[in-house]
Structure formats: structure tokens, C-alpha cells
Structure 1
């Protein structure tokens, strides 16, 4: 299975998270509009990535004749549902600049939790899942 697209999207996502981090460090209140634009942009890319994983990657892994690959695919797919829901709830709470500007520390705190989990997930996929997908 060719997973170059998934790998490239992970790189793009980490670049986008870096850009968001820079905006936050420059001042949450001052850059609330740009932060919202970055979140909305990232969310579109994340939704497309997750949809491709659900339609292509996970079914291919689960259908593998290798029990380790099939089980790993199932586990990653189940775990992703929770993280995706957490991320989408985060974006729903913070998709208005005034909400971010009114509670910059609340935004920072929640963003740190959500993006740490997202980063951890990307690393796990890169290190554990994608090498297995390369074998399918």
C-alpha cells in the first residue's frame, strides 16, 4: 500500500501546528482572528485525512491476512474515534475569535492538551502503523 500521501499530510499537519503555536506565542488576544483562521484551515485538512484513513487505510489493514497488522489496524481505528471527537469539540469551542480573546488561558490550556495528544498520535502512526501499512 502506498502511504506517501498520509506521511506527507502528517508533515503538513505538524507545520500547521507550528504556525498555530507561533500565533499563540505572539499573543492570543492580539492574534485571535488569525488563530481561528488557522484552526479552521487545519480542521479541513484533518477531516480529509481522517476520512481517507477511514475509507482506505484502516480497511486495508484490518483485511490483512497478517493477524498483527489486522489487530493493529483495528486498535488504531478505535483509538482515533476518540481523538477525532476531542479535536472537533475543541475546534467547536474555539472557532470564534471573541471566545479565544475572552479566555486566552483557557484556550492555551485546552490547545496544549489537544495538540499534545494529536502530536503523540501522529508519532505513533509514523512509527508503528505506517511501517505495517507499507507491508500490505
Structure 2
């Protein structure tokens, strides 16, 4: 199974997280418009990534006949539902410059929580999940 498109999307998401960190360091209220735009852009990539995983990756693992991978895929998919829900709520709350400017510390707090979980999940997929699929 070719996982290059998934890795590329992960790379794009990680770059967006880095951009959000850099913009936040420069001042959330001052960079509110750029931060909001980055959240919107990153959300598009994340939604596409989740959709492709749900429509193609996880079903392929279920059909693979490899019980270990099928189980792993099911576990990753279930875990991702909670992470995706948290991210979607975060993105809906912080996708407008005016909201960011009104509560920069609220954004910082939520971003630190939600984006850390997303970052760790991507690292786990890149380190454990994708290599397991490729070496099956």
C-alpha cells in the first residue's frame, strides 16, 4: 500500500502547526488574521486526510486479511474520532480573527492542548502505524 499521500498530508499539517506556533509567538492579537487563515487552511487538509483514511485506508486494512493490521487500523480509527472531534471544535471556535483578538490566551491554551494531541498522533502514525502497514 502506498502511503505517500498520507505522509505528505501529515507533513502539511505539521508545517501548519509550526506556522501557528510562530505566529502565536509574534502575538496572537496582532497576528489574528494570519492565525485564523492558517487554522482554516489546516482544517481543509485535516478534513481531507480524515476522509481519505476513512474511505480508503481503514477499509483496505479490514479487507487485507491481516488480523493484526485490521485490528490496529480499527483502534487508530476509533482513537482518531475523539481527536478529530476536539480539533473540529477548536477550529470552529478559532477560525475568525475577531475571536482570536478577543481571547488570545484562550486560543493559546486550547491550541497547546489540541495541537499537541494532534502532533503526537501524527508522530505515532508515522513512527508505528505506517511502517507496520508497509512491512506487512
| Counterpart position of 1:19 | 19
* CA-based RMSD: 1.0
In structure 2, list runs of 5 or more residues that go unmatched: none
Q: Is the 8 A contact 2:94 2:100 kept in 1?
A: yes
| Counterpart position of 2:88 | 88
Structure 2 matches for 1:115-134, cutoff 5 A? 115-134=115-134
| Counterpart position of 2:2 | 2
Structure 2 matches for 1:25-64, cutoff 5 A? 25-64=25-64
Which 4+ runs in 1 deviate beyond 4 A? none
**TM-score, normalised to structure 1's length?**
0.96
Distance of 1:135 and 1:66 partners within structure 2: 12
Q: CA deviation at 1:20?
A: 1.1
Structure 2 matches for 1:72-83, cutoff 5 A? 72-83=72-83
Q: CA deviation at 1:62?
A: 2.0
Distance of 1:51 and 1:70 partners within structure 2: 18
Q: CA deviation at 1:52?
A: 0.6
- CA 1:35–1:15: 2 relative to 1, 3 Å: same
Deviations 1:87-122 (A, max 9, x none): 000011111211111111110000000000001100
